Amino acid sequence: MSSKDWIEKDFYAVLGVDKAASADDVKKAYRKVARESHPDHNPGDPKAEERFKAASEAYNVLSDSGRRREYDEMRSLFGSGAFRRNARGGGQPGGMPFDVSDMFGGAGGGDRRFGGAGFQDLFSSIFSGGQAGGQAAPRGPARGRDVETEVALDFGDAVRGVTLPLTLRAPGVCDTCHGNGAKPGTQPRTCPVCHGAGVTTRDQGSFSFSEPCRNCQGVGTVVEEKCPECQGSGGVTKTRTMNVRFPAGVADGQRIRLAGRGEPGERGGPAGDLFVHVKVRPDELFGRTGDDLSLTVPVTFAEAVLGTDLRVPTLDGAVTLRVPPGTPSGRVLRARGKGVVRRDGQAGDLLVTLDVVVPARLSDEARAALESFAEQTPPAAREHLDARVRRVG
Ligand SMILES: [Zn+2]
Ligand SMILES: [Zn+2]
């Protein structure tokens, strides 16, 4: 359940208890409302059905001290709007203090057989399980579910931006049995254990626990001849492919939201969103920090000492970098604007680190030249170390 739901719903009003009500009072109030509004006692009464759902939802939160505390905190932070809303509707005796039409249409309102026994799923199943007198009330438009997926991009594609086809696999309703799991021509049968309620109640001392019926997994019906397409689950995996544009400069670990590209809505509701987690494969040459690219370039001792012009690759083409005479190893040269070009047109830099390479083998001529060089070069500045060596050594 989203925090928005929590802000908009007054679970205390639903159960008719004070905000300071004890856990025991909450339980008593819930039992009273649930008893009065139970669909078995009110066949074909959508008002009672809604009240039963709402009470169950409220109790689900308020009976858990941790969730109740979260709920209270959230409402105290964002509560003023919700309060007005409740105050407006709360005066009608027996009326719902808020609009329940969208209550079960949210994230959990999809197909009950697929998502595990989510709470809302469980209760929606009570009312669509085909029990006696229980024609399910028509529900309003429901937003489609958000979908999350992960994509690995090549380094250069992430820097430049790329459009890729993305194939999503998502659970959908089986077209052969329309989701009831029964072989075409047969019907699911009301569960003999829970009599279609989807829940069983167990007494334990002074408490009673409701739990999803184990015989029918909370669905309320059992299938005797399974649909060959979905093996009785009512669901199949559906794939869809779409082209997704990744903007230039997208970074590893970034999450991109594509509004309306999630699962389609139900009954005319809007589609959910697609969230794409981006992984960027490392490049064999370039590193990246934010909008800057980095590259390490080996140079010889002579190049570092005498200076040189280096041709180095960028992601697009090559640039010439001037290495001034007397450049130390590890010096970073900057090729401005050769990094990641952002959407606003600004670009990062290419940072080139010079790595002076010491040759492991020398020709006789090179050795002679180097020895001659050494004779004509003052010693390295190590006096400060030599002083310490004399003292401790
Ligand atoms: Zn099927
Ligand atoms: Zn059952």
State the DSSP string of 25-67: HHHHHHHHHHHHH-TTTSTT-HHHHHHHHHHHHHHHHHTSHHH
Query: Beta strand 189-190 with 162-173: parallel, antiparallel or unpaired?
Result: unpaired
The predicted structure's pLDDT at residue 77: 64
Ligand 1 center to 236 CA (angstroms): 7
Residue 125 vs residue 151, higher pLDDT: 151
DSSP state of 217: T
Q: Please, which pLDDT band fits residue 4 given cuts at 50, 70 and 90?
A: low
How far does residue 191's CA lie from ligand 2's centre (Å)?
4
Q: Which bin fits 132, alpha (ψ -120 to 50), beta or left (φ > 0)? A: beta
Q: What is the band of 60 on the pLDDT scale with cuts at 50, 70, 90? A: confident
Return d(Cα 167, Cα 157) in angstroms, integer.
Answer: 18
270 Cα–ligand 1 center, Å: 26
Ligand nearest to the CA of 184: 1
Written as six digits, the tokens of 187 are 């019907």
Phi first, then psi: what are they for 250, rounded to 5°?
A: -60, 140
Model confidence at 150: pLDDT above 50: yes
For the whole prediction, is pTM greater than 0.85? Answer: no
pLDDT at position 135 is: 38
User: If you measure from the C-alpha of residue 264 to the centroid of ligand 2, how many angstroms do you get, rounded to a whole number?
Assistant: 30
Spacing, Cα 198 to ligand 1 middle (Å): 20
Residues 336, 351: Cα–Cα separation, whole Å: 8
| Cβ(317)–Cβ(160) below 8 Å | no
Overall average pLDDT of the 314-328 stretch:
94
CB atoms within 10 A of CB 257: 11
- Tell me if 159 sits within 8 A of 340, measured CB to CB: yes
Predicted confidence at residue 320, as pLDDT, reads: 96
Please answer whether residues 310 and 319 qualify as being in contact, where contact means their C-beta atoms are separated by less than 8 angstroms.
Answer: no
Tokens of 3: 């925090």
Whose CA is closest to 161, among 88, 247, 222? 247
In this predicted model, what pLDDT tens digit does every residue of 161-180 receive, in sequence order?
A: 999 998 888 777 788 888 88
pLDDT value, residue 10: 84
Stronger pLDDT, 189 or 102, i.e. the higher one: 189
| Dist. CA 167–CA 182, nearest whole Å | 29
> What SS3 class is residue 245?
strand
Reported as a single tens digit per residue, the pLDDT across 266-318 is 777 888 898 999 999 999 999 999 899 999 999 999 999 999 999 999 988 99
The two beta strands, 207-212 and 162-173, are unpaired
> What residues sit around ligand 1, an ion, with C-beta below 5 angstroms?
174, 176-177, 227, 229-230
| Higher-confidence position of 327 and 74 | 327
Residue 185 CA, ligand 1 centroid: distance in Å? 12
Min mean pLDDT across 33-47, 105-119, 175-189, 337-351 is at 105-119
The answer to whether the CB of 152 falls within 8 A of the CB of 281 is yes
Distance from residue 86's CA to the centre of ligand 1 (Å): 42
Cα(126) to centroid(ligand 2), Å: 10
Which ligand gives the minimal distance to the CA of 217?
Answer: 2
Least confidently predicted of 43-57, 93-107, 128-142, 159-173: 93-107
Between these two residues, 202 and 110, which has the higher pLDDT value? 202
Cα–Cα distance between 110 and 108 in angstroms, integer?
6
d(CA 218, CA 209): 14
